[in-house]
Structure 1
Amino acid sequence: MNVPPPAGHRSAHVDTFARDHLPPPDQWPDLRFDLPELRYPERLNCAAELLAGPDAGRPAFRTPAGPVWTYGELRARVDRLAHVLTGALGVVPGNRVLLRGPTTPWLAACWLAVLKAGAIAVTVLAQQRPHELRTMCEMARVRHALCDVRAVDDLAKAEIPGLRITTYGGDAPDDLLRRPAPDVPYGAVDTAADDVALVAFTSGTTGRPKGCMHLHRDVLATADTFSRHVLRPQADDVFAGSPPLGFTFGLGGLLVFPLRAGASTLLLEQAGPKQLLAAIAAHRVSVLFTAPTAYRAMLAELDGGDGPAVRDASPAHDLSSLRRCVSAGENLPAATWRAWHERTGLRLINGIGATELLHIFISAADEHIRPGTTGVPVPGWQARVQDERGVPVPDGRPGLLAVRGPVGCRYLADARQREYVRDGWNVTGDTYVRESDGYFRYVARADDMIVSAGYNIAGPEVEEALLRHPDVVEAAVIGRPDEARGHVVVAFAVLRAGARSDTEALRAFVKAELAPYKCPREIVLLDSLPRTATGKLQRFRLRTGAETGADATADTHDDQR
């Protein structure tokens, strides 16, 4: 079942910027709504749907030290925030609202309030720097921001023209949480199912961010496909994980999926492997979302021993409450899957998703898991492997992964739409093999994206940051294989004649320009970069040199990422 692009007259948006900047209809992917649960009504507000079901007294949000928010309390707080947004702050349906802060119940409540008020959520990472924030706000024409008071400095430093920043969590009388609001329910804006609900930014191989626009029905479709059919959560589940809400992996796994199931979620500001292990034991977490890197790190923390008995080995490492563990963000090696299974008795649910498609579209669970493969298309999705011309290749032969389903890529006013959507299929940029039994096996990224500890890092974006340093005349960035992280970022720079900058100065400069996880672990100073006779950069020579340590003066550091 294929549904055409939306008709603008049905939109509830007063500010029509997002709909006006959707790709033209002939560049949309084919959308499939084959499952009965995917046939949504024309009028749909996904925030209202997510909040509508559970009894008021059931737990919704948990934190390590604070009180539990019930669904009744969550609904009341979201309604209060929505009143403030549309009253004192003047937000109208269709406005883009930037959300920034660590993963807390208030950030999640702000996201729900923005959508319930008919506005469009643009959730960014608390780590992102002024240059990055300014670019995203300019692209999406953001004029309103809700920001945790602890994360406001870089947003203020971005000096974004016309941006109204409202902080929350502080002591100021105009703090978002202190503003007066009617103590009555907020009637959700009657948005169309195909009104834009969120803009999620990702970095492509050019380094310029791409704004991925997703609709109200898209948000529910991720829960009604992967979560409903593969994850299969229960109302008494407690969700937790490491990805922030600024990543669609975290948005689905820590907010949309538990709310859709009437379950609760433990929201952690610090969610490294050690913190996750402690949180699982203390809060009886049953559903976990994180990257393969974190699973490997948690294995190193667990007590020794063989078999599932380790789940009860010590109070600090008690994993007996876990029943579902989801791995995504980077390829899951078969060795990691087997080690986790041997040590815990739990079968990791592998999956591949994309910001362009909002969440996971290939996966498998329980007895259907084949270690070393990603899985099969999630119910509601279709996938194939094709060549550069779009022709499907035989099983066993590598090619480009192409998928289609109820959610598709819609870039915000970006010519790269034609690269991602080809003949109605979303071409993800991953090289895959389809095995004869129908399982899909990951081979590699088809572009220069570096995947490090679950983060997607565009090499050219890091290069551009280096080139903004006055002493750098040339720069190149690659990913070097790393057992713990998958890859680490390695940068090569050529300095101007007479420059006094060293690698430490360059690293400090890049750290001020980009989020920490994008910063090079190693910087190599060269007299020149290897190029062909026509001037093209020979990245393969840089990769070879980085792996062997040849021809390099390097400075290596360990950052917390």
Structure 2
Amino acid sequence: MTYHQKPWLRHYHPLVSEHVNVPYKSLFDLLEKAAAEYKEKPALTFYRRSWNFIQTKAIAEAFAAALSHSGFTKGDRLAIMLPNSPHYIFSLFGGFRLGGINVQVNPMYVEREIKHVLNDSGSEYIVVLDSLYQRIKQVQPGTNLKKVVVVSLGGERMALGDGDQYFEDFIATGSRMPDVAIDIKEDIAMLQYTGGTTGVGKGVMLTHNNLLSNVVQVCDFVYRAYGDQRPADLKMISVLPMFHVFGLSCNALAGIREGANQLVLPRFDPGEVIEVVKREKPFQMSAVPTMYFALNNHPHLAESGFGNVNYLSSGGAPLPVEQINAFESKTGSRILDGYGQSELSPSPIFNPPFLAPKPGSVGIPVPGTEVRVVEITEDGLADVPVGEAGELAVKGPQVMKGYWNRPKDTEAAIRDGWLLTGDIVKMDEDGYFYILDRKKDMIIASGYNVYPREVEDVLYQIEGVDEAIVVGVPDEYRGETVKAFLKLKAGAELAAEDIILYAKQNLAPYKVPKQVELLEDLPKSSVGKLLRRVLRDEEIQKAPKVGV
């Protein structure tokens, strides 16, 4: 068995093709076709207000016309710094309409991070939430920003600086728009900045074809298999941040493509999500693992109605099997894990709903995707034997164009069309993939390779452990030693000795944490991803310097 034989294809549903076909001229064409097909069906519901597909397209066009009137042209960068809201969708597709490059700006960024993204991207236009407006004004003098559009989701309007406008006033200034020719394979649609956990955040260049291809790949994998069972009033909970590539693709774009009513939530609150599930009976929800952790700890999860949600997916970080089992035992509904990253628009591999998932696996490759497990040699990329660990390499239409203004980083990441993901994986004989760990997160203790994910999975099996991060810390004797940081569930009482004893019973000696630290909270990104590198960097800083 080899990777080139694509053993995963034999698991495909009869209605799912091996190939991917993109029937759109651009990302705005995606909205245009949806508006023509779904017309007055609700596209976005934000608390008590809904916008149908025709209205959504009309507001996006009005925003584009105003942008054009203000001097915005093809290739200009439009920064969007908004939580999940209808205005995010309006701004996103308005930028697409003019052939602009939308720049994702995390609303949780502080001034230093905002300034880096704006300057690195060269953004001259920004759409920002009113409560974040002062942050933008603080950094504006040190950037190229010349137009600030402010979104208010309620409450009194504040006074704005000269030239700045509220969204509703801004869209009233446009008239006609130019026709813009889009080359979907070459023209950049998005700059998605990496989290910066491996250094300074880099702008991932995603073309119209990258994003459209992955939306088609994912939607075909998820929705085609349901056939006539798919409800006419398809609803999805859109709580994943749209400024993150997971939420952008699986909600913001997929919702438009599938004619879904996106139940838009600006932030994750487990009680609110449970109420929405009870009231709206959605078809689908995508979330990151820490969202499922929070739902697992909610006292009313069992009677929430999650058992009637057809498709629940997880991504962004590894989802421990114990957490999956806990959720499924309380709700009767399956969580299907997947794998992705910004450079892949974001999804090459996940568990489709028409297959029973294998415990611990992130699934099989989506249509139109080639996948290998490799090691880097002097002669290039060499496949490792099936079943053995190596680096995941992906080729397909969802592979990014490269890193913005970073040709050397692009050259290092993409070899002959294969994206080197930096993740250590293995594939079994059935074509299912298992993520072992980040290549850079691997711990080398006394010459042995230790994958933090494996140790974390064992620690999650301990009753009372809520969240776990395992890192390698400097050790004069071993090179690195294993340290575990744990957050306990409310009311749980565990000593470090108890945790180490359990680990000794379930792991080879060199994998057992030699140090355990209990914390009230573990560091997370804005989308709820546990940040291993933050804790590891802190440990490196604390370690004594050799020779000093």
Common fold by TM > 0.5: yes
Deviation at 1:483, TM superposition (A): 6.3
Q: What is the aligned counterpart of 1:328 among 315, 327, 341?
A: 315
Moved more, 519-528 or 75-84: 519-528
Quickly say closer, same or farther: Cα 1:216–1:524, change in 2 above 3 A. closer
Equivalent-residue separation in structure 1 for 2:250 and 2:233 (angstroms): 15
Shift of 1:340: 2.2
Q: CA 1:40–1:61 in 2, change beyond 3 Å: closer, same or farther?
A: closer
Provide the C-alpha distance between the structure 2 equivalents of 1:267 and 1:36, rounded to a whole number of angstroms: 32
1:92 aligns with 2:85: no
Point out the more displaced range, 173-182 or 133-142. 173-182
User: For 1:126, what is the secondary structure of its paired residue?
Assistant: coil
Among 371, 378, 382, the alignment partner of 2:359 is: 371
Aligned residue-pair number? 439
2:294 is aligned with what amino acid? Answer: A
**Cα deviation digits, residues 447-498 of structure 1 (max 9, x gap):** 149999xxxx9x9xxxxxxxxxxxxxxxxxx99554679xxxxxxxxxxxxx
Distance in 2 between the 1:349 and 1:521 partners?
28
- After TM superposition, give the deviation of residue 428 of structure 1 in Å: 0.8
Matched residue, 1:552:
none
C-alpha contact 2:28 2:93 (8 A) present in aligned 1: yes
Q: Deviations over 1:73-123 (max 9, x none)?
A: 111111111111111x21111100100122110122111111112111002
Bigger drift between 520-529 and 241-250 goes to 520-529
Distance 1:97 1:523, change over 3 A: closer
- For 1:70 and 1:276, the matched residues in 2 are separated by 22
* One-letter amino acid of the structure 2 residue matched with residue 117 of structure 1: L
2:104 matched to 1:123?
A: yes
Out of 113, 116, 123, the residue aligned to residue 94 of structure 2 is 113
Q: Is the Cα–Cα contact under 8 Å of residues 127 and 150 in structure 2 kept in the other structure? A: yes
Aligned residue among 254, 259, 273 for 1:257: 254
Q: How far off its partner does 1:212 sit?
A: 0.5
Q: Provide closer, same or farther for how the CA distance between residues 391 and 83 of structure 1 changes in structure 2, counting only shifts above 3 A.
A: same
CA distance in structure 2 between the aligned counterparts of 1:132 and 1:391, rounded to whole angstroms:
38
Residue of structure 2 equivalent to 1:239: 236
Distance in 1 (CA, whole Å) between partners of 2:199 and 2:487 is: 25
Q: 1:190 to 1:181 in 2, by over 3 A?
A: farther
What amino acid does structure 1 have at the position aligned with 2:360? G
Give the aligned partner of residue 392 of structure 1: 383
TM-score, L = length of structure 1: 0.71
Question: Is 1:196 the counterpart of 2:224 in the alignment?
Answer: no
Q: 279-288 or 168-177, which moves further after superposition? A: 168-177
- Superposition CA RMSD, Å: 3.4
Following superposition, the deviation at residue 382 of structure 1 comes to 1.5
Distance 1:527 1:77 in 2: 50
What is the one-letter code of the residue matched to 2:108?
Answer: Q
1:162 maps to what in 2?
Answer: 144
Q: CA deviation at 1:320?
A: 4.9
Where does 1:430-449 land on structure 2 (aligned, <5 Å)? 430-448=423-441
1:523 deviation in Å? 10
How has the CA–CA distance of structure 1 residues 115 and 516 changed in structure 2, closer, same or farther, with 3 Å as cutoff? same
CA distance 1:398–1:86, shift in 2 (3 Å): same
Q: 2:348 & 2:83 partners in 1: Cα distance?
A: 27
Cα distance in structure 2, aligned partners of 1:320 and 1:284: 10
Given the alignment of the two structures, is residue 530 of structure 1 paired with residue 544 of structure 2, yes or no?
A: yes
Aligned to 1:429: 422
Q: How does 1:222-371 map to 2 (within 5 A)?
A: 222-232=214-224, 234=230, 236-303=233-300, 310=302, 313=303, 317-366=304-353, 367-371=355-359
2:411 matched to which residue of 1? 418
- Rounded to whole Å, the distance in 1 between the matches of 2:89 and 2:358 is 35
Q: Deviations over 1:108-143 (max 9, x none)?
A: 211111111211100211101111111111111111
CA distance, structure 1, for counterparts of residue 184 and residue 123 of structure 2: 22
| Fraction of identical pairs, as percent | 23
Q: Following the alignment from structure 1 to structure 2, what is the Cα–Cα distance between the partners of residues 220 and 434? A: 27
- Which SS does the other structure have where 1:360 is aligned? coil
Q: Secondary structure at the match of 1:246?
A: coil
Contact residue 62 and residue 68 of structure 1 kept, 8 A? yes
Gaps of 5+ in 2: 1-16, 443-451, 457-468, 472-481, 490-522
Gaps of 5+ in 1: 1-33, 305-309, 460-477, 486-509, 536-561
Contact in 1 for aligned 2:307/2:333 (Cα 8 Å)? no
> Is the partner of 2:194 in helix, strand or coil?
strand
Aligned counterparts of 1:73 and 1:205: Cα–Cα separation in 2? 39
TM-score (norm 2): 0.72
Secondary structure of 1:179's counterpart equals helix
SS of structure 2 residue aligned to 1:203 = coil
Preserved CA contact (<8 Å) 2:127 2:149: yes
Query: Compared with structure 1, are the counterparts of its residues 400 and 279 closer, same or farther at alpha carbon in structure 2 (3 Å cutoff)?
Result: same
Q: SS of the residue aligned with 1:438?
A: coil
> Among residues 209, 218, 237, which one is paired with 2:210 in the alignment?
218
- Counterpart mapping for 1:496-515 below 5 A: none
Give the match for residue 67 of structure 1: 49
In structure 2, relative to structure 1, the CA distance for the partners of 1:356 and 1:225 (3 Å cut) is same
